[in-house]
Structure 1
């Protein structure tokens, strides 16, 4: 635990900056303002295409927001080309299997990290306002990053997998450390990694309700 604390300590200024940017824009499900699109960030997917419990928690939260009419569409963003799985295909299939019409799902296969996802949502898919959907420990960074790049972003966090204490704690610590890279990316205005993005349209219609 002392080693973990020593690792997190240098990230404190970045964590505080991220939390300040996100402050006032994180809500419970029943009070989150409506936006045209919810962005579900990718997470571990098994080789058979089954989403992990962490990813299911995010997707189920997206489903709830759709059912409550808090969002009109869902953008699933992740790594489509990992060695053993395709995050975005698994996310799309899960949503379709749970009754979401295919035309309400936008797939971004090049969301390699949080920063890439929100910049691509803005630049490739035309998003202006969006709801970030992820685990609650990741939510401040997701909301702050999106707002820093110009999205009118709010967020709702999943806590359904908090019972998995070891995995949750590891994710929490890892996310605090990731704040350092996020602040650097924002400061340098890094362009997303878009290898293979020519397969996507140069520009598609803004994310709005049908």
Structure 2
């Protein structure tokens, strides 16, 4: 379905955990809360909300392709539960790290939190979000993503539940050959710097000489 919607791009991409792969998933047309979502993706967001509704008080997302998805899930949860479910978007610091804005701490502290993202691979971003929420004494209700492409389980993330309407594992590679060598690097396929983390990877590689 995602491929038919033009959301799966083929090339040479660097993911959040620095692994490489041939495919990149761009579920929305931007990384803002107002980014446009196709109707089919809205339906998946509604499915995520229905599964995750029990006890949720706030939705938290990282600033990524999942931003608009998190907002959509929060809005539909508000409709289902008949009360406002706030949406809290984390921010990136100057060092490219995730952080919560001071004014949002009280919206998450001691509340039941649903973590929402677009694609779950190795879980690097979601684990950082979980760490932030737990660090301000938020209670993790669960994690909901559109696509669990890394075949992760709730026990991998230490969460009550992990829901994904789409489950299809894709292979990724590390650039230094463990556990699998990156054939894209070996073939000299240029790294995409427009999507994913290719720009940061190349900058680190250049700095290291």
User: Under a length normalisation based on structure 2, what TM-score does the superposition of the two structures give?
Assistant: 0.38
**Larger helix fraction of residues:** 1
**Larger strand fraction of residues:** 2
- Bigger relative contact order (CA 8 A; separation at least 6): 1
User: Under a length normalisation based on structure 1, what TM-score does the superposition of the two structures give?
Assistant: 0.37
Which of structures 1 and 2 has the bigger CA Rg?
2
